Amino acid sequence: MLVVGVVIASLLPTLFTSTAPASAAAQGGTDAAASGTTVTITVRLDLCCSSDDFGYEASHAAFEQYITKAQDAWNDALAKLPYKRCYSIHAAFMFHLLRDGQDYEAGYHHIHFNWDFPGRTASFDPGTQDPTEDTTTAYKQGLNGNYYPRDLSVRDWEHEIGHLMGLGDDYVEVHGHAVAHSGRPEDTLMAFGSRIDKVLADRLGDLVARSGVKLPQCWSGAIHSTSSAELPGFPDTNCHETWDTTFAVAVDPNGDVIGTGNGTRVAVGCVNPRYAQGEATYQVFRIKGRFDGRDFTLTFAQTATDGGTAGLFNYALFIPPQPVLKASVTSPGMARGTTPVSRQLANRSIVTANHDVSMTCENSC
């Protein structure tokens, strides 16, 4: 639950038995940073307060379990929901459990908890009068909150920390009844369910951009690769493969390119079928290169595969000396190119391939 506007002290519950710490200097309890195509949102919580050693150990263990599970749930979902088809968003949740009398820390959200009584958990956002609004207040100052842990499930922790990443509620209260807001599905996390969908992921990405983080220029791409191998004098060893890959790369201000991608084999054939057995059907790779504003030059290095050998695709793209794939800007935000490959292996096999590259600028073009 998100409570908006200025918090009036007399409205806060008076059942807490711990001593509240002094306020820390204003500094965001949430921040974001970009490294290549990975965007990390870090949320820091000061949980107040534990009054004895036994309570401290038990509370710390419980909070660690719930917050870790909430973080994992967010990351499991976000890993499948790239922002602008390009950036991978990663969530990092950290907390400090304070003892009685400890001051709140600068750069942390100030969460007062109560194990002893039931209650309605809420965070307070003074930057808006609309509880459904996404705001960057959490990136500018630590937010206050009242949490009642014995009433909180892992899903509730996910929802509440969603507020600390800037997300508003996806429900409103009408005549004492909660209803989904503006057509949002009821089963999503910031409404009544637990599903983290593409809309939520994109809203997080938008919040990162609004918070002042400069996201690097990002391009998404696809490669259609066809390859064949021939061993002169042994026609039954002739094989061919077709692979489709997708990738995303970030371009830093100096023109350096880094990124990642994955590929799937869509066709394979050999004169003798036994030569096609045991080879990879899926691969993961990293990318390095350069972009001068007009031309991309890209090299690829395999990082994972599901087969004992990567087959022709390996020789056509990954094994040093790797071919340099090229793509040139053909219109604003679009680049294309075809790179032919021909190489002779140590066993005298000749591998030929064509890599057709298409790229689209997704952000900061």
CATH of the domain at 136: 3.40.390.10
Q: In the listed set 210, 230, 255, which residue is the last one of a domain according to the structure?
A: 210
Query: In Å, how far are 65, 257, 275 from 237, measured between CA atoms?
Result: 55, 38, 7
Q: How do residues 137-149 score in pLDDT, each as one tens digit? A: 999 999 999 999 9
Contact 283, 296 (CB under 8 A): no
- Residue 255 phi, psi dihedral angles, 5° rounding: 95, 0
Q: What CATH code is carried by the domain that includes residue 323? A: 2.40.128
| Same-domain pairing of 167 and 254 | no
Tell me: do 238 and 345 sit in the same domain: yes
Q: Which tokens is 243 given?
A: 């692979």
- Residues 267, 347: Cα–Cα separation, whole Å: 24
Q: Are residues 256 and 159 in the same domain?
A: no
pLDDT at 117 over 90: no
Token pair 């509880």 is found at: 131
The verdict on 262 and 180 lying in the same domain is no
Q: Are residues 144 and 41 in the same domain?
A: yes
* pLDDT of amino acid 239: 86
Same domain? 206 vs 238: no
Collapsing DSSP to helix, strand or coil, 13 comes out as coil
Res 132 pLDDT > 90? yes
Query: Does residue 197 share a domain with residue 221?
Result: no
Shared-domain flag, residues 58 and 137: yes
Quote the number of domains for the chain: 2
Residues 175, 39: one domain? yes
Contact 114, 143 (CB under 8 A): no
**pLDDT value at position 31?**
97
Q: Name residues whose C-beta falls within 8 Å of residue 148's C-beta, 6 or more positions apart in sequence.
A: 113, 114, 117, 118, 119, 120, 121
pLDDT top residue among 37 and 154? 154
Quote the domain boundaries for residue 187: 2-210
Query: How many percent of the chain have pLDDT more than 90?
Result: 67
